Chains A and B, each alone.
Chain A
Amino acid sequence: MTSSIVAATVKKKQIAQLISLGKRLDGRGLTDYREIQIEPGVIERAEGSARVRLGKTEVMAGVKIETGEPFPDVPNAGVLTVNAELVPLASPTFEPGPPDEDAIELARVVDRGIRESKAIDLEKLCVVPGKKVFVVFVDVYVLNHDGNLIDASVMAALTALLNTKLFNYEVEDGEIKKKPGYTRLPMTNHPIAVTFAEIKDTLIMDPSLEEEQVMDARLTVTLEKDGKICAMQKGGSGYFTQEQILEAVKAAKEKTEELRKIVVGG
């Protein structure tokens, strides 16, 4: 255990030194993302799905839709549920079992971006007000952990949702009757997350696992399509100055515009 701490300290020095020169271990610039590969519709059984590769980080997202009851305070709206699994095959540090705090945080940060930007028009998913609505389950499945799971997961979830098909139906005596054909899930916004790692007072985007292991703190900024912030989350045991936060928010806005073109197109 002591040797791993020594290794981390040495590595941190090396990474920090490079960063002070504006360089990174893998040759990227400070605000460069790793290569992004997006494959929509990889699981036929799911109503929507996507596989996203961000460098060696690999995340799959699947969307399943069921009918259920609405929340009593919003009787006219469908329900969104986001869950994340850090499956053991993705990293030697992931253990089997119910979601731990890291998985729960990941799911909740992804959830917040989708929910607060009103990415899904949930009111269109109401079948019988107060009684029956569609429940959209987004399950984020981390397949290979090489850092920046949040951004990859938001991209995967968004792509899967954009790819989701809902069967046509009509309502007869409060029951759903399926009709032939499918329509797309009503999507009205496209949230994109940008995550920064702070290493020795410098902010870098899209941290790799090595960089995450030595970072002081982490900051995620999620912006919706009109450039408004819709979710944020600080992580890690360090801190940010007020100036760093504002710098990050502005940089994130520029970056999300670039990333949104890759994920959503257009």
Chain B
Amino acid sequence: MSQKPKKLIDNKGIRTDGRKLDELKPIKIQVDVLANADGSAYVEQGKTKVLAAVYGPHEAHPRHLAQPDRAVFRCRYHMAPFSVEERKRPAPSRREIELSKVIRQAIDPSVFLEYYPRTLIDLFMEVLQADGGTRCTSITAASLALADAGVPMRDMVAACAAGKVEEHLVLDLNDTEDKEGTADVPIAFMPNMNAVTLLQMDGMLTIEEFEQVVNLAIGGCKKIHALQKEALKAKYVTVKEEEEEG
């Protein structure tokens, strides 16, 4: 793998999957896709496919989890065994446990948890296929699922990564770019509040590069946020049409 001579970005600035440097993977969003969940969403971002579902606010079980002044928010990010090249063992890995935590803290500031004291909100994300950016796509899907469940929110959270691959700063890295690139900075953002709710980085960047990467990622988040709103609206348009027909 390490001696692969193939370039990830050609001299016209085109990436292995045909995208330009500042181009997102093609995104497809569907809301309200699962019958049992109180809210759900499915997001495809290139080959990355994520399903998110919300159950709650419901009674806190076990009881000792309940907080007297706000709802407790539980999050599980999980990758399906078949989502990656080599089968991933289904038990939660250390990576998944960490990501569940940072995703929870990325969504937390968007929800009016204080409206539902003593309750529990469960948020489940299943990565069905991974091609880079799974935590970001999971956040995008999770926030939509919460909105679909009708949980009151300050804003929807959209997430997107940017990074550095072969001396180029690029948006929305795919799996190969993530593995072979020099840096990856996933960001979650609430555009209406100018709030960064998730920020991680690994790799090496100068402060100047980091500044540009953050701008690039936030630009991506804003585009995704617009798509999220569109998808939510589309759901209600279909509901309305169905009602009119019926």
A237 at the interface (CB under 8 A from B): yes
Known A-B contacts A5-B69, A238-B109; the reply to A232 vs B94 at CB < 8 A is no
Q: How far is the CA of A120 from the CA of B106 in the complex (A)?
A: 32
A242 at the interface (CB under 8 A from B): yes
Q: Which residues of B contact A115 (CB under 8 A)?
A: 202
Q: How far is the CA of A242 from the CA of B190 in the complex (A)?
A: 11
Q: Name which of A34-42, A105-113, A140-148, A166-174 contacts chain B.
A: A105-113
Report which of A104, A227, A249, A253 forms a contact with B98, defined as CB distance below 8 A. A104
Considering only CB atoms, which chain A residue lies closest to B194 in the complex?
A: A241
Do B109 and A245 have beta carbons less than 8 Å apart?
no
A139 at the interface (CB under 8 A from B): no
Return A85 CB to nearest CB of chain B, in Å: 13
A101 at the interface (CB under 8 A from B): yes
Question: Does more than half of chain A's interface fall in helix, strand or loop, or is it mixed?
Answer: mixed
Do B211 and A246 have beta carbons less than 8 Å apart?
yes
A257 at the interface (CB under 8 A from B): no
Q: How large is the interface on B (under 10, 10 to 19, 20 to 34, 35 or more residues)?
A: 35 or more
Q: Which residues of B contact A5 (CB under 8 A)?
A: 68-69
Do A230 and B196 have beta carbons less than 8 Å apart?
no
Considering only CB atoms, which chain B residue lies closest to A243 in the complex?
A: B194
Q: Which residues of A contact B68 (CB under 8 A)?
A: 1-2, 5
Report which of B67, B69, B94 forms a contact with A107, defined as CB distance below 8 A. B94
Known A-B contacts A101-B98, A249-B207; the reply to A234 vs B200 at CB < 8 A is yes
B48 at the interface (CB under 8 A from A): no
Q: How far is the CA of A102 from the CA of B109 in the complex (A)?
A: 19
Do A73 and B1 have beta carbons less than 8 Å apart?
yes
Return A108 CB to nearest CB of chain B, in Å: 5
Q: Which residues of B contact A (CB under 8 A)?
A: 1-2, 67-69, 94-95, 97-98, 100-102, 105-106, 108-109, 185, 190, 193-207, 210-211, 214-215, 218
Q: Which residues of A contact B (CB under 8 A)?
A: 1-2, 5, 73-74, 99, 101-102, 104-105, 107-108, 112, 115-117, 217, 219, 224, 227-242, 245-246, 249-250, 253
28 residue pairs A–B, Cβ–Cβ below 8 Å? A2-B68, A73-B1, A73-B2, A99-B94, A101-B98, A102-B101, A104-B94, A104-B98, A108-B94, A116-B203, A227-B207, A228-B205, A229-B206, A229-B207, A231-B202, A233-B200, A234-B102, A234-B105, A234-B106, A234-B197, A240-B195, A241-B195, A242-B194, A242-B214, A245-B214, A249-B207, A249-B210, A253-B207
